[in-house]
Structure 1
Amino acid sequence: MSSPVEIFDRRLVRRRRDRAAATQDRVAPILSEAADRLLDRLDDTTRRFSRALEIGGRGHVAPRLAARGVPFVVSADLSPALARAAGPHPVASDEEWLPFAEGAFDLVVACLSLHWVNDLPGALVQIRRALAPDGLFLAALPGLPTLGELRAALGQAESELRDGLAPRVSPFPDLRDGAGLLQRAGFALPVADAEDIPLLYRDPFALLADLRAAGEGNAVLARDRRTPPRALFPLAAARLPRGEEGIPATLRLVMLTGWAPGPDQPRAARPGSATARLADALGTVEHGTGEAPGA
């Protein structure tokens, strides 16, 4: 098998997340909102969980799982500092090399961390293996068009100051890829949907400050390592769309839900095994292929 393409500088991601342990309180309302929206999906099942793994929750997921009655929660993070602050059972681990036994958990929750993984399909396979049969996986990832306003403004500004553009905003997955990734990793009943968290900034530089505080600065390997032109960020700030109340920014959460295959899960019926006609259920008349209605 070929090695996955490396897109992100994982060492840089870890260092920035380590530093963010002391500054992420600045964006605590956003982290809390993302965790609440993701864990609301637990209300859609009557299943009760006893052994959970949460990945990258930054201290906002483990307490919420405990409040929902999950008695044992392991908190894993690429950053040892964030892992220690996340919950009572911390583990510093790389999402690309999970150190857990097969079937160790009946619930895995990954909140705002998998978007920095180089091999996302491989990470999902490892997560599925760490789940016991009929275990549940929930994930929230920033997806397109997250930070689209900032991406466009930086591109316009840099094109005026330099020849060509450098990647300055992380690439994000698209909603259309979500269910396919889950299915490819072996999850049953895969579902992908999206929710938007609208943000509003009075100061354009406050958005950049929030990204730094959360450890979400540019970690793309192909990033331009030269010192940016002094005028780049002021010029980009002037290009950001501005409304009457401030500068809007969008955080789109791509929500993934999947189950580890289990013997008691519902399965699609075998083609041709139906015992009743759809036309009868709908109270209509069935027509053959190419037959005009009313003929």
Structure 2
Amino acid sequence: MDRRNFLGTAFFGATGLAFSSVWSQQSSPNLGTPTPAAPGFRRMKLGAMEVVAINDGVVRRPLGQEFVTNAPLEQVKALLASQGLPTDYVDVPYTPFLVVSGNRRFLFDTGFADNGPPTTGRLRANMEAAGFKLEDVTDVVISHYHGDHINGLRAKDGSLVYPRAKVHVPAPEHAFWMDEARMEAAPPAAKGAFQNARRVFGSLSAEQLVRFEPGAEIAPGITASAAFGHTPGMCIFNVRSGGQSFNYVADVTNIPSLFARSPDWAVVFDMDPNMARVTRRRVFDSMVKERALTGGFHFPFPAFGTMETADGGYQFRPVA
């Protein structure tokens, strides 16, 4: 993939919307308020490790024609209705995962901290309810640079939320968003995404910021894999211990009831929809074959489960 050519139609069209308005969108009064997860954490043993899903909140957004870019709204609503889900809005949860391995605590993606909508920013309280403090996090692992995954690294005042943590980032993703020429070439509506990456990562020291390549082992039992398409350098992660496996798939699918069930559909936030589609099928085919525990950032809480085939696509089955 030529990342210098990645700023194509999808980026200019969808990404402007994605970064300029999505996190400020609140539900219309007639849509109600989404119910927060209670409790907001779920623990799973994985060999000698533990994986903890920790919810940062949920946003309810009206379902419009723009959300699925390559399918009629009536078809999108019909798929939701067939699963007994509302058709006038979608609830988008945000769930980072904490992996406990020996004396290290790896947080995969960060949510919003105090930078997001009022129904987000619950990660700290839910982490403390699960028995962890912010200072316990030794490593933050970033899947990609969309704001809901990185903004929680810093509070609104600029301070680091996880002061002891090294921050691990995909090298190709970092190179894309930190490229000055690419930022200058971006349309005005998209420049904010580049500027936000600089706000979050720009002042980190060389010791704090650790770049990794897809395929690298970040730590014993934790391996990154390329999952390009949603963004130019997004990675997913496999965690193994004691013969057991957990896969964190980040934003390979945004809402499973839509984009896993119809994996060829494109969410407005996919920067290269065609590449994202290929990645989605490849990753979920692998998850089905492995029958491994799988978690996603936007999966319905508790965000743990397995993937199965269903009607030409895939079905997420949450753990009981």
Q: Shorter chain as normaliser: what TM range?
A: 0.3 to 0.5
Relative contact order (C-alpha < 8 Å, sep 6+): which is higher?
A: 1
Q: Which has the higher helix share?
A: 1
**What TM-score comes out, normalization by structure 2 length?**
0.32
Structure with max Cα Rg: 1
**What TM-score comes out, normalization by structure 1 length?**
0.34
Q: Which has the higher strand share?
A: 2
